[in-house]
Structure 1
Amino acid sequence: MSIIKKQTGPRMSQIVIHGDTVYLSGQVGDVNTDITTQTKTVLTKIENLLQEAGSSKEHLLSATIWLKDMNDFAAMNSVWDDWVKDIIPPARACGESKLAHESLLVEITITAAIA
């Protein structure tokens, strides 16, 4: 079974496709914006990457969400809930973690099926 990698750089690929499964690297928002803006940006990036891979948010299998501070959980969930309101949501985990840049508040990784 082939492995296809897209948007590949020296450190990682943004998209990896193996069979009928799409794996996205962790997506982050713009530094120095609030949790709501960062979450919206991340979800837009995810939708664009899924489209490039031949999938969509309707085919999400799982999501892992890392927050810099769990005090942002409700605000992030407000954006997330609006994003998944018209689909059956995926399996999901959410935790607190130190992220790659001090101004990053959220990072989301996605696994999805190709329809």
Structure 2
Amino acid sequence: MDTPQLLFNGLAVGSIIALAAVGLTLTCGILRLSNFAHGDFMTLGAYITWVVNAQGINLWLAMLVGAAVTAIAMLIAERLLWKPMRDRRADSTTLIIISIGLALFLNFPPYIYTTIAENPYPSMDAPP
């Protein structure tokens, strides 16, 4: 394989993971909230970017649209879920349950609009 390409791919994937880790650390450190939906918001952004790019729009513009839609979704979650719960001084267990429910809610729509469930990875035969 081409070593420079492998290094570039590794740095790209590592950067995505580092970005997710920084965001999750900031959320846990500042808000004292274990947000189990954090990865699902990242998946939402990636999915929106893919959908916009599949329509023939430039990848860089699609990434901006994906980031904007994700930011709007996070602000909606903040206003509808997290702020009212913080105002009521909800305990950490309640916040964790809400976070898991939000993760499940964000996980479901791609399965409605795509054929992911109908096209699983092909099975591979084990070598003899």
TM-score (structure 2 length as normaliser): 0.28
Structure with a larger share of its residues in helix: 2
Higher strand share: 1
Task: Work out which structure has the larger RCO, using CA pairs closer than 8 Å and 6 or more positions apart in sequence.
Answer: 1
Specify the structure having the higher radius of gyration (Cα).
Answer: 2
Normalising by structure 1, report the TM-score. Answer: 0.30
